[in-house]
A = this chain, B = another copy of it.
């Protein structure tokens, strides 16, 4: 029997989950839930209903795991604790500073309902976090580095779009090669914000807009750009569509640490991602952890979990025996 998945929220992430389910033969899409008028939403999977979010609760017996595809700012802090009352749920909550309180809220609700809620299952938090944990456990004496990019930062792109005279914008976060090289060489550098990443912006200006002022406003924007070396390129709407319609991303998690009686041996552990589509990859992670949620629930477990709490074998469709034979 397949694991029946519900998708709650049908944006980039929800569409990605739909694609990822198609790649996993032990899973099937049971329904998509949307805030919009269901009849206005076209999905790709044949014969699967699109429903109103309000109707989800009545479909508890049709869904094994609900994947929550809303945003971390306002959707998930409300939705995850709410829907774990009725479903096993997964989210990709990514506001690092608020994870502890999100965990507590989901854990309380999940323990009451007897369901499983797995939070923060993306790549950062998520796969990057796993790599930080494993590397720290194995190399207790060392230093951690995380670099993001090259990739599109949605938040920074939005910030540029709010500037007067800007019609459209896309911002790429780019790791600084020299910094990466120094970390990889085991030099354990102390790096400032500016030394780790640069920011490259592609901007479509409105007709007659003052480009010099726009560039200045971008480069001096507090928090977003003022601590970085930023370059700004003005391009046409056509160029934006042609060259910048994707949502690529990626990054690096590196731990450089010492072993040996006198810490005489250097070691560098590096994990990296290079993704053509950030939301499609995040969705694939959500689906793998949905399998884990299903299995934990089948075992009678309940409460909130993170990627740290889940044995890797739970993510795979293969049996323990097959995993040992083929992947160990």
Contact residues, A85-126 vs B (CB, 8 A) = 96, 99-100, 103, 120, 125
A284 to B259, CA, bound (A): 8
A260 to B16, CA, bound (A): 7
A188 to B276, CA, bound (A): 15
Which one of B19, B125, B264 lies within 8 Å of A261 (CB-CB)? B19
A235 within 8 A of B: no
Residue of B nearest to A258 (CB): B23
Which one of B184, B260, B265, B308 lies within 8 Å of A311 (CB-CB)? B308
Q: Are B259 and A16 touching (Cβ within 8 A)?
A: yes
Contact residues, A6-49 vs B (CB, 8 A) = 16, 18-20, 22-24, 44
Given contacts A313-B133, A316-B133, contact A139 B328 (CB under 8 A): no
Q: Are A328 and B129 touching (Cβ within 8 A)?
A: yes
User: What number of copies of this chain does the assembly contain?
Assistant: 2
Q: Are B273 and A44 touching (Cβ within 8 A)?
A: no
Q: Are B96 and A328 touching (Cβ within 8 A)?
A: yes
B residues near A120, Cβ cutoff 8 Å: 328
Which one of B24, B129, B312 lies within 8 Å of A308 (CB-CB)? B312
Say which one of A166-174, A225-233, A237-245, A318-326 lies at the interface with B: A318-326
Given contacts A137-B315, A312-B134, A316-B137, contact A324 B103 (CB under 8 A): yes
A266 within 8 A of B: yes
Q: Are A261 and B22 touching (Cβ within 8 A)?
A: yes
B residues near A308, Cβ cutoff 8 Å: 311-313, 320, 323-324, 327-328
Q: Are A309 and B306 touching (Cβ within 8 A)?
A: no
B residues near A132, Cβ cutoff 8 Å: 327
Nearest-Cβ distance from residue A323 to partner chain B, whole angstroms: 5
Given contacts A274-B268, A275-B265, contact A284 B103 (CB under 8 A): no
24 A-B pairs (CB sep. < 8 Å): A22-B261, A23-B140, A100-B321, A127-B134, A133-B312, A136-B316, A137-B288, A137-B315, A137-B317, A138-B281, A138-B288, A259-B281, A260-B276, A267-B276, A268-B274, A269-B272, A269-B273, A270-B274, A271-B271, A307-B328, A308-B311, A308-B323, A308-B324, A310-B311
A285 within 8 A of B: yes
Given contacts A134-B127, A325-B99, contact A309 B315 (CB under 8 A): no
B residues near A307, Cβ cutoff 8 Å: 312, 328
Residue of B nearest to A275 (CB): B267
B residues near A272, Cβ cutoff 8 Å: 268-271
Q: Are A140 and B271 touching (Cβ within 8 A)?
A: no
A280 within 8 A of B: yes
A177 to B218, CA, bound (A): 40
A283 within 8 A of B: yes
A182 within 8 A of B: no
Q: Are A273 and B281 touching (Cβ within 8 A)?
A: no
Which one of B265, B317, B321, B325 lies within 8 Å of A277 (CB-CB)? B265
A141 within 8 A of B: yes
